[in-house]
């Protein structure tokens, strides 16, 4: 069972799952996926939050990848509530 944090949304789950299955992705490519079903601007915003908490990493050119912590979260081995943001929100 995954242990989410108060700051997380269902979009975050879909983004992390997409990146796990596809190795990388951009908000544009995710918004075109029938499983993700959120707008590109919303996905972009959520990706920034996920990156601040260390679950994904920005590679440049709009592309994100899942971090080891992100995979641990998906596997149920990491409690996202214990993650700290790398900057104040």
Residue 39's alpha-carbon distances to 31, 32, 36, 43, in angstroms, are 6, 9, 9, 6
C-alpha span between 26 and 62 (Å, rounded): 5
Query: Residue 45 belongs to what H/E stretch?
Result: helix 40-52
Interval 12-58: pLDDT, tens: 999 999 999 999 999 999 999 999 999 999 999 999 999 999 999 99
Range 6-15 average pLDDT: 97
Tell whether pTM > 0.85. yes
Q: What is the pLDDT of residue 88?
A: 52
**φ and ψ at residue 41, rounded to 5 degrees:** -60, -40
């Amino acid at each position: 069972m995954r242990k989410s944090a108060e700051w997380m949304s269902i979009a975050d789950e879909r983004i992390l799952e997409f990146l796990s299955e596809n190795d990388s992705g951009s908000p544009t490519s995710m918004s075109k996926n029938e499983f993700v079903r959120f707008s590109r601007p919303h996905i972009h915003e959520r990706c920034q939050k996920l990156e601040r908490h260390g679950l994904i990493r920005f590679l440049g050119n709009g592309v994100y990848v899942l971090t080891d912590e992100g995979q641990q979260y998906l596997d149920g081995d990491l409690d996202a509530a214990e993650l700290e943001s790398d900057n104040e929100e």
